[in-house]
Chain A
């Protein structure tokens, strides 16, 4: 077993026994799936929506791709599109939590010094910590997207509406943006936790990266941004640049001596 694998398995064995981390890893995806699924269930329920159907703004009914949909289907498709990006919080929050706990937690428990004294290179240590944090982030994001996609077959009876939700931008989000966000969260988590001594402070500082994603979600809800293939690809390109820059910063900040001597 090579050293990086040993480190990854150690990280997972340790961090998933931490109740706080475990709650985040289990509850966060559930919440991020349940919110859109419930909203879609409500939006597609004739009885619940009957009073509102007559008052649907024409702008909703006239959205591209909504041609031929009944008012109820249009309402459901519209609501679904607002919450389609919710699961992107998962690949941000989970790696961030694991990354911050895996370094700051070790500092706090004083287990980092023996680890740094072992014959492992800084790159191996960084790789081990990063993969251990990013892996669950990507896997839970993909699982969340899969469960969400399957749930749509239950709460969205119309194939036309499902096609509008499980569209190309959604697939780009799942396959490209989610992994890029995971890398972003991991590098930020590792960078921040190299310099602070409290896991919660590290996590709160790191959570700042969620703000742009929330911004994108709210911008879409407010109708400021249309999340289509073009904006998805632009977002992916921006993330690639941000990831590379942050990876560089993380490698520069993740120095044995600094981590060790700046911790009190």
Chain B
């Protein structure tokens, strides 16, 4: 579990992280989004007790990052932006070093477990320098988990990986989620965040918004339904627009995009009105802005418009 209050980090004149207040409960996968230089990595470093805050507090797994940095480090796993393995050493020895530094009770056993889980056991004796980027990333994930941390910080875990390796890593994160660990996932991959995260926070020096992707979408773009008609005509648009619960109607790619309140309750009336106006309704589906739309809206301060893609 993570709790920060007005967490701030300044480097000289530059404020990298400004007054971040955040609570991530145990077992949640939290996506941390934001453009380059938004302060994401600095926040992760603050939360993993690598650097100290200029102001504010942060408690991770019940330990204060300033007063109890060693306990914080003991109970968190950190996957840094780059794998940072010792290329001249074997995969097994790379992990053994960390198992010993984290005082894992049976280091050899822990190393064997994670090398096997991540399908690297057969290549354990090879120098890491010869590994592909995906293999190094898997090894770095293993390193972050050897001591079975309660909270795991994953900084761009699939960045630069080929689709197959990225998928393996994502599946592994999903598996971690089922183990009840708190996962703090920093990523630029919004599809990944959408797929994996219970909630996301968008950062631009300070935290602009925190919520589930669904709630953010609703908050920023409202609720829309896409009604596909076989015989789209302006009269159909007018019929929909005349309904009291409809806030607006657009025509997009041969379909009506209807902004309405309480779609679950009002969709039957909408469909009835359209049929009454002679429309041949092919299908009705919720139309949601993507997380990318939400992100762009938040980061660019309202420049982006919802694409209105169906789901």
Contacts and interface: CB of A to CB of B under 8 A. Distances in A.
Interface of A: 1, 3, 6-7, 10, 13-14, 17-18, 109-121, 256-257, 260-261
Contacts of B290: none
A248 B52 CA distance: 22
Interface stretch (B72-80, B118-126, B272-280): B72-80
B115 interface: no
A155 to B, nearest CB: 39
A49 to B, nearest CB: 48
Contact of B70 (A17, A110, A111, A119): A119
Contact of A10 (B83, B97, B140): B97
A158 B81 CA distance: 65
Contacts of A119: 70, 73-74, 101-103
**Which 9 interchain pairs have the tightest Cβ spacing?**
A17-B88, A110-B84, A111-B84, A119-B73, A110-B82, A6-B100, A117-B78, A118-B101, A119-B74
Interface string B35-52: 000000000010010111
B213 to A, nearest CB: 29
A110 B80 contact: yes
Interface of B: 11, 45, 48, 50-52, 70, 73-74, 76, 78, 80-89, 93, 97-98, 100-103, 140, 143
A109 B50 CA distance: 18
A111 B45 CA distance: 15
A114 B48 CA distance: 11
Contact of A109 (B74, B86, B97): B86
B89 A14 contact: yes
B85 A111 contact: yes
Given A113-B84, A119-B74, A13 B89 contact: yes
9 contacts: A18-B88, A114-B80, A117-B50, A118-B73, A118-B101, A119-B70, A121-B70, A256-B50, A260-B50
A260 B84 contact: no
A14 B101 contact: no
Contacts of A120: 101
Contacts of B76: 117
A256 B72 CA distance: 15
A18 B80 CA distance: 24
A261 B50 CA distance: 10
Contacts of B74: 119
B187 to A, nearest CB: 18
B100 A116 contact: no
Nearest to A111: B84
Contact of A260 (B51, B81, B85): B51
Contacts of A7: 101
Given A14-B89, A114-B143, A3 B50 contact: no
Contacts of A260: 45, 50-51
A59 B98 CA distance: 63
Contacts of B70: 119, 121
Nearest to A121: B70
A261 B93 CA distance: 28
A112 B84 contact: yes
B73 A109 contact: no
Given A3-B100, A6-B101, A257 B86 contact: no
B78 A256 contact: no
Contacts of B11: 261
B101 A13 contact: no
Given A1-B100, A10-B97, A256 B89 contact: no
Nearest to B140: A114
A113 B98 contact: no
B87 A109 contact: yes
A183 B303 CA distance: 60
A257 B51 contact: yes
A116 B85 CA distance: 13
Contacts of B52: 257
Contacts of A121: 70
